[in-house]
Amino acid sequence: MREIKAEVIKDTVRDLFLHASSFIGEDLYNKLQEQYEVEESPVGKSVLRQLIENNDIAAREGLAICQDTGMAVVFLELGQDVRIVEGDLNEAINQGVREAYVDGYLRKSIVDDPVFERVNTRDNTPAVIHTEIVPGDKVKITVTAKGFGSENMSRIKMLRPADGAEGVKNFVIQTAVEAGPNPCPPIIVGVGVGGTMEKAAVLSKKALLRKIGEPNANPNYAKMEAEILEAIINIEYFPTHIAGLPVAVNICCHASRHAEKII
Amino acid sequence: MEKVISITTPVTTEQIRELRAGDNVEITGYIYTGRDAAHKRLVDLVKAGKELPIDVNGQFIYYVGPSPAKPGHVIGSAGPTTSYRMDPYSPTLLELGLKGMIGKGKIAPEVIEALKEHGAVYFGAVGGAAALISKSIKKVEVVCYEDLGAEAIHRFYVEKFPATVVVDAEGNNLYETEPLKYRLP
């Protein structure tokens, strides 16, 4: 049994959020450059130019790429041969978030109650934590700081099996078109298909973390991704019930801030 | 080169009526900030027949909730927030002489009607270009509602703040016209 101190988890989470908030991934950076070259609309070109410049300034000066530094989402793949010692695992993650947002001058955007008082927790906790137990003795931590301009434009729908691939595509396109200019385009669209309602939603968030330009390994899904143009579409899928076809569409702005580390 | 129109605040209705959807502008002068909570308070005061803590006549309001300033900076990253959340309040402020809102994303038809009626415009700043935009903000002061933190009403002194006219005072809407030109068949 490998032992990992809770403090190591905390420090890793903190460093990942600090990094992701100022440094956009190389895949996304290059995609913006590539798109700038081919963009036909003058407005579109001006927007892309500002975004590239913005990413340069943020990286150079260690500033937040966007003032909405998001709700902290943490995907944890915990090896079953790992034991976390000297502390509470979930609290270590939240402490990492706290330190990143308080010490790193990131905006605290979390309220304690969604409906009633809505009082700011002042340290951007709690994080949304998804833990999966996997074989091995490693821990993989993936963090994403999810802004709500785009999160608010996300949708979920339970389609009928008969709706099939066309139904999925139409729902994705409809969601993206309705979102229009609101979620800070150019956007990345994460699609989760199958499972149950919450499984589809989690998959759609995971789909956003995939490298830009990397298709789904299943050729049917890769083809569907390629057929839905005008945005970067990543689809993840999972087996589902005979009676259902859940589809979740999670939209992310161009500032898709995520980072990962294996301990 | 992109053509850019310079605007200095405060502005007159005549100046604003000359702007066209799609114009790129650079704003210099004082602008106010406000989000959901501050707007609610302002409009509640108007409804109660009380005086506002700020005079919006001839001014612009920027929908923003900046990240905290690092030492040595006047402000943190400060890009626009999504405008539709302020739609219920904007017509009241436009009636009082507000000449423009700066945000991102769609605004409601009734807000566009109010822009036409009062001769005002809706500017879009680039959502997510928050570090870049922060460079044009030179001075920051809290005017009122300090208890709201990042959501308090601030007064920014800006130089060459980059924005685009999305809806002009005739109701032309760049978000409607521009995507149609480039949509794939």
pLDDT tens-digit readout, B7-55 = 999 999 999 999 999 999 999 999 999 999 899 999 999 999 999 999 9
Mean pLDDT of all residues in A210-215: 91
Name the A residues in 168-197 with CB < 8 Å from any B CB: 180-185
Q: Which residue of B has its CA nearest to A47?
A: B126
Supply the ipTM of this predicted assembly. 0.90
CB contact under 8 A, A43 and B178: yes
C-alpha dihedral sign at A158, A161, A167, A172:
positive
**Portion of chain A with pLDDT greater than 90, in percent:** 88
Q: Is A63 on the interface with B (CB under 8 A)?
A: yes
Contact list, B126 vs chain A (CB under 8 Å): 47, 50-51, 54
Predicted confidence band of residue A8 (pLDDT cuts 50, 70, 90): very high
pLDDT at A231: 66
Q: How far apart are CA B12 and CA B90, in angstroms?
A: 18
Give the pLDDT of residue B151: 85
pLDDT at B2 (0 to 100)? 67
Is B73 labeled as catalytic in the residue annotation?
no
Q: From CA B121, how far away is CA B17, in angstroms rounded?
A: 8
- Comparison of pLDDT for B169 and B148, the residue scoring more: B169
pTM across the whole model: 0.93
A86 and A6 Cβ atoms separated by less than 8 Å: yes
Q: Out of A51, A63, A147, name the one closest to residue B126 (CB).
A: A51
Query: What's the average model confidence in pLDDT over A235-248?
Result: 93
- CA distance to A155, B6, B18, B24, per residue, from B3 (Å): 38, 10, 15, 7
Which B residues in the span 28-47 are in contact with A, Cβ-Cβ below 8 Å?
Answer: none
Q: Which of A40, A53, A185 sits opposite B132 (nearest CB)?
A: A53
Q: What is the DSSP letter of B85?
A: G
Residues linked to residue B25 through DSSP beta bridges, in sequence order: B5, B163
Q: Please, are residues B69 and B84 in contact by the beta-carbon 8 Å criterion?
A: no
Residue pLDDT, tens place only, A148-180: 999 999 999 999 999 999 999 999 999 998 998
At residue B184, the pLDDT reads 67
* pLDDT tens by residue, A93-145: 999 999 999 999 999 999 999 988 888 899 999 999 999 999 999 999 999 99
Instruction: State the average pLDDT for chain B.
Output: 94
pLDDT averaged over chain A?
94
Q: What angle do CA A73, A76, A81 make, to 5 degrees?
A: 165
Cα distance between residue A68 and residue B160, in whole Å: 23
Instruction: Identify all chain B residues contacting A53, using CB atoms and an 8 Å cutoff.
Output: 129, 132
Burial class (CB in 10 A: 0-12, 13-18, 19+), A48: buried
Cα–Cα dist A171/A84, whole Å = 42
CB B68 within 8 A of CB A68: no
